[in-house]
Amino acid sequence: MTDDKFYEELSNLINGAFDGAFGRKTENRELPNTKAMAANPSIGEIMTDDLTDVVAEEQQQPHPQHSLYTCIADYTEKTGKRFRMTKNQKARGLSRDEAFSEMYGGTN
Q: What is the number of other CB atoms lying within 10 angstroms of the CB of residue 46?
A: 11
Please say whether the beta carbons of 79 and 37 come within 8 A: no
pLDDT for position 40: 62
pLDDT in tens, the chain (108 residues): 677 888 888 888 888 777 777 776 655 555 555 555 556 666 666 666 666 776 666 666 655 554 678 889 999 999 999 999 999 999 999 999 999 988 887 665
* Separation CA 15–CA 3 (nearest Å): 18
Please say whether the beta carbons of 103 and 60 come within 8 A: no
Domain positions in the chain:
63-108
Q: What is the number of other CB atoms lying within 10 angstroms of the CB of residue 14?
A: 10
